[in-house]
């Protein structure tokens, strides 16, 4: 296939070992090349830059309310770890690009340049190293993601029986209904009181049964880290245990027609006493 | 007549009878007759369907509650068939029924011989004409989509008032999305795939020249319904038009559905044609390991289009049926399912991203070898990467549906497949890096685009790593973060590589150099604006700004202002680049046959490329990557993993 001729084997000094040198030795030799260390250095600089942007992203996340539930805190942790793990490959890629422009040199002009670059067709070590690195990265993402998802799902859907957990508190059920373009929250266990603002007691597990009266909406409480579609003719579930007092946003995250942009409301995370008095105020029959 | 045992000389081959002048019916058809016939038939269909529609009546309780949908559906069908009739698309089958086989003169007329510029406005079968038609069409669509994008950013940048009313705004975002998706699907495979690929593999034309013309004119038929929908209530529901909004929308939605249905036919036909051409019409000696890598990219993209486009088409045929025929595929009140629509939609919706990205990436690999003057690094890894992506592309779609709740347990396997597809995609990055490795780069515009694209892919990649994780998607889904991420992939990676591809093959397609100075200014201005526009959009998403909204909390103002400034910068850069393309095409510096000293076959034919490309078909004896000189490091025994050193050490 290739017409490239491998150069004739150079005459070697006889005392040279006939076997291939060990990998460590070859790696050390490779690092002696003028470009190798510089590319690693630039990779390092770029990794630091990525982590700085990551820090800024997390700062943005915290400054806009911050995690108000264990789920959201876990999501933030995941973002940090995924970025840290992925950044060396990203850094190496960018470093190679930068070095190729400023290290290996460049030619301008209108005429095609002379052929003076090495005719490297492939390099087994590089290919193996790259595939290993990307597979390890993908494997890490998969394992991390599956474990984390299983954990969050267990918490949200109650597959870990709540009464097995320490400090058991009975969960609150909330029926969430989306319709163009308002949210309605119903507390079936609390005398079926209805509200257009979601009020939740702090540190109580809450289960949401989400549905829609018309088109697809998406129930998104940003700082609580929960999001699920509200589908007509079907009920979807999610759950959360809020752990921070305050008022947070609920938005619709699925285009639902004319006033989609205005389909938002608030979630108030309050203390248990405040919650009980709110329920009484709303005419709720009993409190849990 | 010679006997069957003797070899016939070409002029002795019996020719079919020539009926009338060469070209026959096609002498009288062009874009004008096609458009007129389309409009006339659309009007007739609209009126007939209107007359047949049962009048609404209170007495007849069984009367179907049909609105204007059947009438407009008939109108769009009339337009499509009328256009094809009037342009002469049915000439081939008709001849076949009548037994009037094509003579050589007929075939030459159909390929556009002797018709000057008019051949671009006719049902012309020459692949080079079709390629240029696709190029202009994709540039026009990109212009329309870009203008709509400017309107979106204007609305979002002017935070203190509503510039558009919500209906208009929602129509703008839906139309922007769909126009851009169509433009991006065709922007590399259309112009470069049609114009360059047949020459690149040493063929005289595509395998099915008339189907080639049909695929373009079907695309041409598909665009007006999409534009017309803006005036019939608009596509107010985003480019994905989830059900049941789709069924509630005004009749303009039929325009969207017609466009998708017709465009899917166009893509299917084009894919079959490209695959058949590449499989059967390669030059002698061009074995599968000598095929230029760009051709592999086109095959991969065509295979995905062929397999997955029908899913999108079904979703729209069923939606069309729900509107026009009162079926209930997606109507939850009557036992239908909105999740069925979402699944059918994303079954194409995600592979479509690879349909868009793969040809552009393959074009980058092709031109990197030329501008770095090094062989393609690990050619076979590149092929494995392309087909790895093609293979996995079909089982990742539901990562768009993590948050729909359609099957909570499905999130696990789809997260797995989504994260695994990064491995073959990584092969392609390694091939690019390895090709650049230790090379002195010839800094021309197409090559500089490689740097821009890989940078954008890195940003899109790292944010994609976040989005592929279900819990993180629980935070990001439906937010501006997603918008920024996929613009980094679809625009930053795919459109910028399409620009590189167009700049690289411009001298062959037009016979002139692309004005590099103006083109580069436009390119880098657009690139800088792009980073600002979509870089700051990530932060709006992180703060919790949903997508597809026209008003939002004040907390998001800053990042939206920056995005809008960036968007206008992109606009300025694009206009400059477009100016470079138009002026260079009309009066640029004429280019020699092989301006880049490249080794693929398309650079061995003269400018302008003659009809049927090659006088004598080439014979290929090697792959097109014989650049470079023996590696100085290769003689070192201690070299890392070099094949040469392995051979040396065995003795």
Rg (CA), chain B: 26
Residues A152 and A30 in one domain: yes
**For residue A78, is it within any domain?**
yes
pLDDT score for A161: 52
Q: Does residue A162 form part of some domain?
A: no
Per-residue pLDDT averaged across B6-28, rounded? 80
Lowest mean pLDDT among A143-157, B400-414, B578-592: A143-157
Considering the domain architecture, whether residues A147 and A45 belong to the same structural domain is answered as yes
Q: What is the pLDDT of residue A60?
A: 84
d(CA A214, CA B505): 51
- Over residues B351-380, the mean pLDDT reads 95
> Is the Cβ of B630 closer than 8 Å to some Cβ of chain A?
yes
Band (B14; pLDDT cuts 50, 70, 90): confident
Kindly tell me if the per-residue pLDDT of B328 is higher than 80. Answer: yes
Residues of chain A contacting B542 with CB distance shorter than 8 Å: 57, 60-61, 64
Stretch among A113-117, A284-288, B506-510, B647-651 having the lowest mean pLDDT: B647-651
Q: What is the pLDDT of residues A243-282, one digit of tens each?
A: 899 999 999 999 998 899 999 999 999 999 999 999 988 8
Q: How far apart are CA B164 and CA A233, in angstroms?
A: 33
B417 touches chain A (CB under 8 A): no
Cβ-defined contact of B465 to A86 (cutoff 8 Å): yes
Q: Which of B137, B309, B116, B166 is nearest to B227 (CA)?
A: B137
In-domain check, residue A220:
yes
Cα–Cα distance for residue pair B1/A284, rounded to 1 Å? 102
- Per mean pLDDT, which range of B172-176, B435-439, B440-444, B640-644 is the poorest? B640-644
Scored b (16 or more CB within 10 A) or e, A147-165 reads: ebbeebbebbeeeeeeeee
Residue B75 φ/ψ, nearest 5 degrees: -60, -45
Q: How far apart, in whole angstroms, are the C-alpha atoms of residue B74 and residue B45?
A: 5
Mean of pLDDT values over B42-50:
94
Same structural domain, A74 and A99: yes
Q: Which helix (H) or strand (E) holds B441?
A: strand B441-442
H or E stretch at B442? strand B441-442
The pLDDT, as a whole number, for residue B411 is 92
Residue in A113, A134, A252 nearest the CB of B373: A113
Whole-angstrom CA distances from A168 to A205, A214, B344, B365 are 10, 37, 43, 59
Within 8 A of A252 by CB-CB distance, chain B residues are 546
Contacts A–B by Cβ distance under 8 A: 363
* Helix (H), strand (E), coil (C) string for B354-419: HHHHHHHHHHHHHHHHHHHCCCCCCHHHHHHHHHHHHHHHCCCHHHHHHHHCCCHHHHHHHHHHHH
CA-based nearest distance A288→chain B, Å: 29
Domain ranges in chain B?
18-53+65-114, 124-604
Q: What are phi and psi of B66, to 5 degrees?
A: -85, 140
DSSP state of A197: S
A16 found inside a domain: no
Beta-sheet strands, E only, within A120-278: 172-179, 182-187, 193-195, 198-201, 206-212, 217-221, 226-230, 236-240, 246-252, 264-270
Could you report the per-residue pLDDT of B334-347, keeping only the tens digit for each? 889 999 999 999 99
pLDDT for B645 equals 40
B649 to A112: CB separation less than 8 angstroms, yes or no: no
Using the predicted structure, report yes or no on whether residue B651 has a pLDDT greater than 80. Answer: no
Please check the confidence at residue B640 and state whether its pLDDT lies above 50: no
CB of B244 within 8 Å of any CB in chain A? yes
Q: What pLDDT does residue A19 have?
A: 64
- pLDDT over 50 at B648, yes or no: no
The full DSSP string for B27-58 is: GG--HHHHHHHHHHHHHHHHHHHHHHSPPP-S
- Show the domain range for A206: 169-281
How much is the pLDDT for B55?
Answer: 66
Using a CB-CB distance cutoff of 8 angstroms, which residues of chain B are in contact with residue A71?
471, 474
Mark which residues 215-254 of A lie under 8 Å from B by CB: 215-216, 218, 220, 222-223, 225-229, 231-234, 236-238, 249, 251-254
Mind listing the pLDDT tens digit for each residue in B239-260? 999 988 887 888 889 999 999 9
Q: Look at residue A251 and tell me if it is in a domain.
A: yes
Residues of B in contact with A104 (CB under 8 A): 438-441
Weakest mean pLDDT among A20-34, B123-137, B270-284, B509-523: A20-34
- With CB atoms and an 8 Å threshold, state whether A113 touches B442: yes
Provide mean pLDDT across the span B455-484. Answer: 92
pLDDT tens-digit profile of A187-237?
A: 998 888 999 999 999 988 899 999 999 999 999 998 999 999 999 989 999
Q: Which residues of B touch A62 (CB under 8 A)?
A: none
Backbone φ and ψ for A195, nearest 5 degrees, come out as -150, 155
CATH of residue A178: 2.60.40.420
B238 phi/psi in degrees, rounded to 5: 75, 170
Lowest mean pLDDT segment, chosen from A75-89, A146-160, B240-254: A146-160
Q: Which CATH class is domain B124-604?
A: mainly alpha
According to the model, what pLDDT value does residue B583 have? 96
How many domains does the structure of chain A reveal?
Answer: 2
Is residue A254 included in any domain, yes or no? yes
A8 touches chain B (CB under 8 A): no
Mean of the pLDDT values across residues A115-142?
A: 92
Q: What is the mean pLDDT of residues B628-633?
A: 80
Residues A149 and A174 in one domain: no
- Whether A202 and A149 share a structural domain: no
pLDDT exceeds 80 at position B5:
no
CA distance A78 to A91: 20
Same domain, A95 and A190: no
Residue B546 pLDDT class (50, 70, 90 cuts) = very high
Give me the residues paired with residue A118 across strands: B629
**Higher-scoring residue by pLDDT: B548, A192:** B548
Closest Cα in chain A, distance from residue B271 (Å): 28
Of A3, A233, A253, the CB nearest to B546: A253
Q: How many CA atoms lie within 13 A of B512 on its CB side?
A: 14
A151 and A255 in a single domain? The answer is: no
- A 107-146 near B (Cβ less than 8 A): 107-109, 112-128, 130-131, 134-135, 137-138, 141-142, 144-146
Residue A288 lies in a domain: no
For residue B552, the chain A residues in CB contact (below 8 A) are 261
What whole-number distance in Å separates Cα of residue A109 and Cα of residue B154? 41
- Nearest C-alpha of chain A: how many angstroms from B31? 38
Contact B622, B290 (CB under 8 A): yes
Q: What is the pLDDT of residues A89-118, one digit of tens each?
A: 999 999 999 999 999 988 888 888 888 889
Reduce the secondary structure of B564-585 to three states and give it as a string: HHHHHHHHHHHHHHHHHHHHHH
Sheet holding A198-201, edge to edge: A198-201, A264-270, A246-252, A217-221, A226-230
pLDDT digits (tens, 9 = 90+) for B557-614: 999 999 999 999 999 999 999 999 999 999 989 999 999 999 999 999 998 899 889 9
Q: Would A123 be classed as within a structural domain?
A: no
Predicted complex ipTM: 0.89
Q: Cβ contacts of residue A147 below 8 Å, gap of 6+?
A: none
Asked if residue A228 and residue A150 are part of one domain, the reply reads: no
């Amino acid at each position: 296939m290739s017409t490239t001729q491998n150069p004739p084997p150079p005459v070697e000094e006889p005392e040279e070992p006939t076997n291939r040198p060990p990998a460590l030795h070859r790696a050390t030799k490779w690092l002696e090349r003028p470009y190798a260390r510089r590319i690693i250095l630039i990779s390092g600089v770029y990794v630091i830059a990525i982590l700085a942007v990551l820090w800024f992203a997390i700062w943005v996340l915290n400054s806009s309310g911050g995690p108000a539930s264990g789920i959201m805190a876990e999501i933030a942790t995941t973002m940090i770890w995924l970025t840290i793990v992925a950044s060396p490959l990203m850094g190496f890629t960018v470093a190679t690009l930068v070095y190729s422009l400023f290290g290996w040199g460049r030619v301008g002009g209108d005429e095609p340049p002379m052929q003076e670059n090495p005719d490297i067709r492939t390099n087994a070590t590089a290919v193996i190293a790259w595939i290993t690195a990307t597979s390890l990265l993908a494997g890490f993402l998969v394992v991390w993601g599956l474990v984390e998802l299983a954990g969050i799902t267990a918490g949200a859907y109650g597959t870990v029986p709540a009464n097995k957990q320490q400090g058991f508190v009975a969960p609150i059920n909330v029926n969430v209904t989306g319709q163009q373009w308002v949210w309605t929250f119903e507390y079936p266990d609390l005398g079926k009181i209805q509200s257009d603002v979601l009020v939740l007691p702090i540190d109580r597990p809450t289960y949401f049964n989400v549905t829609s009266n018309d088109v697809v909406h998406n129930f998104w409480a940003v700082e609580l880290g929960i999001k699920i579609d509200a589908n007509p003719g079907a009920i979807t579930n999610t759950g959360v245990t809020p752990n921070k007092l305050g008022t947070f946003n609920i938005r619709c995250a699925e285009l639902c027609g004319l006033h989609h942009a205005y389909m938002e409301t608030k979630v108030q995370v309050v203390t248990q006493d405040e919650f009980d008095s709110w329920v009484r105020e709303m005419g709720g029959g009993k409190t849990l | 007549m010679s006997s069957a045992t003797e070899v016939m000389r070409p002029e002795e081959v019996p020719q079919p009878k020539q009926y009338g002048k060469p070209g026959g019916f096609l002498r009288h058809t062009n874009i004008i007759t096609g458009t007129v016939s389309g409009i006339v038939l659309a009007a007739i269909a609209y009126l007939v369907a209107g007359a047949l529609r049962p009048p609404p009546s209170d007495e007849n309780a069984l009367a179907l509650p049909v609105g204007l949908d059947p009438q407009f559906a008939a109108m769009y069908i009339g337009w499509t068939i009328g256009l094809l009739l009037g342009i002469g698309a049915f000439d081939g089958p008709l001849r076949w029924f009548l037994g009037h086989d094509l003579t050589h003169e007929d075939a030459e007329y159909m390929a556009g011989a002797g018709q000057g510029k008019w051949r671009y406005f006719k049902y012309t079968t020459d692949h080079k004409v079709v390629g240029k038609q696709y190029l202009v069409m994709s540039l026009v669509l990109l212009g329309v989509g870009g203008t709509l994008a400017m309107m979106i950013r204007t609305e979002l940048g002017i935070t203190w008032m509503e510039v558009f009313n919500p209906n208009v705004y929602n129509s703008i975002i839906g139309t922007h999305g769909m126009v851009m998706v169509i433009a991006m699907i065709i922007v590399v495979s259309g112009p470069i795939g049609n114009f360059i690929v047949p020459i690149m593999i040493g063929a005289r034309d595509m395998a099915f020249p008339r189907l080639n013309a049909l695929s373009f004119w079907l695309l041409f038929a598909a665009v007006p319904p999409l534009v017309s929908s803006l005036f019939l209530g608009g596509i107010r529901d985003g480019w994905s038009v989830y059900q049941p909004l789709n069924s509630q929308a005004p009749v303009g939605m039929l325009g969207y559905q017609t466009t998708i249905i017709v465009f899917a036919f166009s893509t299917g036909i084009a894919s079959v044609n490209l695959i058949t051409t590449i499989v059967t019409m390669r030059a002698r000696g061009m074995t599968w390991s000598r095929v230029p890598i760009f051709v592999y990219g086109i095959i991969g993209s065509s295979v995905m289009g062929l397999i997955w486009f029908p899913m999108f088409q079904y979703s729209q045929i069923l939606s069309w049926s729900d509107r026009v025929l009162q079926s209930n595929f997606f109507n939850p009140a009557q036992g239908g399912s909105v999740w069925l629509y979402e699944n059918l939609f994303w079954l194409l919706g995600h592979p479509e991203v690879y349909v868009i990205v793969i040809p552009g990436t393959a074009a980058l690999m092709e031109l990197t070898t030329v501008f770095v003057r090094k062989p393609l690094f690990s050619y076979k890894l590149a092929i494995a990467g392309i087909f790895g992506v093609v293979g996995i592309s079909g089982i990742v779609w539901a990562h768009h549906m993590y948050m729909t709740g359609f099957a909570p347990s499905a999130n696990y396997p789809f997260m797995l497949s989504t994260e695994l597809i990064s491995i073959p995609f990584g092969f392609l990055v390694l091939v690019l890096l390895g090709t650049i490795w230790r090379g002195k780069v010839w800094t021309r515009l197409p090559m500089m685009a490689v740097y821009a694209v890989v940078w954008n892919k890195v940003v899109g990649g790292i944010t994609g790593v976040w989005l592929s994780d279900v819990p993180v998607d629980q935070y990001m889904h439906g937010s501006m973060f997603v918008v920024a991420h996929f613009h980094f992939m679809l625009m930053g990676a795919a459109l910028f590589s399409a620009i590189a591809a167009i700049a690289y093959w411009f001298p062959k397609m037009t016979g002139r150099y692309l004005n590099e100075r103006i083109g580069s200014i436009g390119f880098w201005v657009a690139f800088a604006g792009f980073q600002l526009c979509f870089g700051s959009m990530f932060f709006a998403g992180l703060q919790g700004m949903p997508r597809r909204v026209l008003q939002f909390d004040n907390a998001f103002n800053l990042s939206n202002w920056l995005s809008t400034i960036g968007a206008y910068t992109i606009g300025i850069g694009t206009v400059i680049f477009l100016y470079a393309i138009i002026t260079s095409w009309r009066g640029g510096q004429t280019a020699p046959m092989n301006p880049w000293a490249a080794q693929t076959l398309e650079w061995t034919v003269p400018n302008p490329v003659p009809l049927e490309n090659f006088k004598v078909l080439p014979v290929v004896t090697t792959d097109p990557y014989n650049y470079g000189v023996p590696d100085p490091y290769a003689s070192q025994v201690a070299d890392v993993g070099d094949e040469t050193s392995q051979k040396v050490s065995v003795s």
